[in-house]
C-alpha cells in the first residue's frame, strides 16, 4: 500500500464547475499538507500549504485537511481552462522534511 | 520571491557521457535542496537530499556514484549523471528549502525548479 493515494484521473469538467481533488494517506505522523499544480513539462508550483487539520482558502482554491480520516481535499471554484494541469498532493512529517507525493490527478477544464 | 531556476532546461547526450544539471535559488538561501526524477505520467520520486556543505543523503535504490550531488553554496546545487544510459532519460526536478523567503512568504517549504529533461541516445 502506498503511503499516499491519489486518483490519477483524468478528471474532465466544464468551465465554471467546482472541482474536488482528494488524497488519502496511511501515515498518521504527517502534519504538513501541500497541493502543487504542475503544467506539462514544467516543475510543480505550490498552491496551498496547511498544517494539521482544518480549512484554508486562497482565492478560488480551498484546501481541507481531516486528520482523523487521513483525508485531504482541494476545491477549485469557478474552474477555468487555465486550471487544466496535474495536481499533486504532498505531505511531510515535519516542517521542511522530505515530501511524500501522491501520483497526481490530471484535470481538464473544457471551455 | 521563492524562485528556483534550473539549467539546462533540456539536454540530449550520447550514451556514456556525463551530464551536469544546475539548480539555483535566486532570491533566498537554500539550506537544503532536493533532487527528484519524474517519469511520464508518474509522480515525483525523491532521489536525494543535500545540505549545504555536507554530503547528500540518497534514497534507497539510488546509486550515489552514478548521481553525484554537490551543494557547494547556499544558492547552488548540482546533479551530475555520470556515464548516462538511455534508462537515465527522465525529467529531473530540483527543489529548494530555506528560511526567510523574500517577501515574507512561507519559509521552510519546498519550491521547485522548472525541471530538466534529459534524453540519452
Measure CB to CB from residue A96 to each of B32, B91, B112 and give the nearest one: B32
Specify the pLDDT at position B80. 97
Residue B51 in contact with partner chain A when CB distance is under 8 A: no
What one-character-per-residue DSSP string does A13-82 give?
A: EETT--EEEEEEES-TT--EEEEEEE-TTS--EEEEEEESSEEEEETTEEEEEETTTTEEEEEESS--GG
State the first-to-last Cα distance of chain B, in angstroms, to the nearest integer. 37
Q: What is the mean pLDDT of chain A?
A: 93
Element (H, E) at B117: strand B116-120
Q: How much is the average pLDDT of A80-109?
A: 91
Interface test with B, best of A44, A46, A63, A91 (most B CBs within 10 A): A44
* CA–CA dist A34, A99 (Å, integer): 9
Residue A9 above 90 pLDDT?
no
Q: What is the dihedral of CA B9, B18, B48, B61, to 10 degrees?
A: 130
Do B29 and B100 form a contact (C-beta atoms < 8 A)? Answer: yes
- Most A CBs within 10 A among B58, B110, B115, B116, hence the mutation to make, goes to B110
A95 interaction partners in chain B (CB closer than 8 Å): 108-109
pLDDT band at B1 (very low <50, low <70, confident <90, very high): low
pLDDT for res B104: 42
Contact A44 B34 (CB under 8 A): no
Neighbours of B84 (CB within 10 A): 22
- Is residue B119 less than 8 Å (CB to CB) from chain A? no
Residue A104 is nearest to which of B4, B43, B49, comparing CB atoms? B43
Q: What is the pLDDT of residues A13-25, one digit of tens each?
A: 999 999 999 999 9
B47–A contact, CB cutoff 8 A: no
Q: Which of A54-58, B1-5, B65-69 has the lowest mean pLDDT?
A: B1-5
Which residues of B, range 79-98, sit inside 8 Å of A by Cβ? Answer: 91, 93, 95, 97
Read off φ and ψ for residue B71, nearest 5 degrees: -115, 75
pLDDT at residue B10 tops 70: yes
Residue B115 touches chain A, beta carbons under 8 Å:
yes
Q: What is the pLDDT of residue B99?
A: 56
**Closest Cβ opposite residue A102 in set B6, B43, B115:** B43
Q: Say if CB A73 and CB A33 are below 8 A apart.
A: no
At residue B105, the pLDDT reads 45
Residue B107 has pLDDT above 60, yes or no: no
Cβ atoms A8, A105 nearer than 8 A: yes
Closest chain A CA to residue B115: A43
- CA dist B7 and B120 (Å) reads 17
Rounded CA-CA distance B28/B36 in Å is 20
Amino acid at each position: 500500500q502506498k503511503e499516499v493515494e491519489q486518483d490519477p484521473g483524468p478528471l474532465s469538467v466544464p468551465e465554471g464547475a467546482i472541482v474536488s481533488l482528494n488524497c488519502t494517506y496511511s501515515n498518521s505522523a504527517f502534519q504538513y499538507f501541500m497541493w502543487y499544480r504542475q503544467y506539462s513539462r514544467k516543475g510543480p508550483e505550490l498552491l496551498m500549504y496547511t498544517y494539521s487539520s482544518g480549512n484554508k482558502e486562497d482565492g478560488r482554491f480551498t484546501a481541507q485537511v481531516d486528520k482523523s480520516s487521513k483525508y485531504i481535499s482541494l476545491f477549485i471554484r469557478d474552474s477555468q481552462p487555465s486550471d487544466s494541469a496535474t495536481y499533486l498532493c504532498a505531505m511531510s512529517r515535519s516542517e521542511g522534511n522530505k515530501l511524500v507525493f501522491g501520483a497526481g490527478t490530471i484535470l481538464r477544464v473544457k471551455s | 520571491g521563492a524562485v528556483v531556476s534550473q539549467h539546462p532546461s533540456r539536454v540530449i547526450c550520447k550514451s556514456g557521457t556525463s551530464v551536469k544539471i544546475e539548480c539555483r535559488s535566486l532570491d533566498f538561501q537554500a539550506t537544503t535542496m532536493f533532487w527528484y526524477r519524474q517519469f511520464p505520467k508518474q509522480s515525483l520520486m525523491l532521489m536525494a537530499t543535500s545540505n549545504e556543505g555536507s554530503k547528500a543523503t540518497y534514497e534507497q535504490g539510488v546509486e550515489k556514484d552514478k548521481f553525484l550531488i554537490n551543494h557547494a553554496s547556499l544558492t547552488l546545487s548540482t546533479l551530475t549523471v555520470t556515464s548516462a544510459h538511455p534508462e537515465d532519460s527522465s525529467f529531473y526536478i530540483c527543489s529548494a528549502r530555506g528560511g526567510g523567503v523574500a517577501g515574507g512568504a512561507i519559509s521552510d517549504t519546498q519550491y521547485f525548479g522548472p525541471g530538466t529533461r534529459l534524453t540519452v541516445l
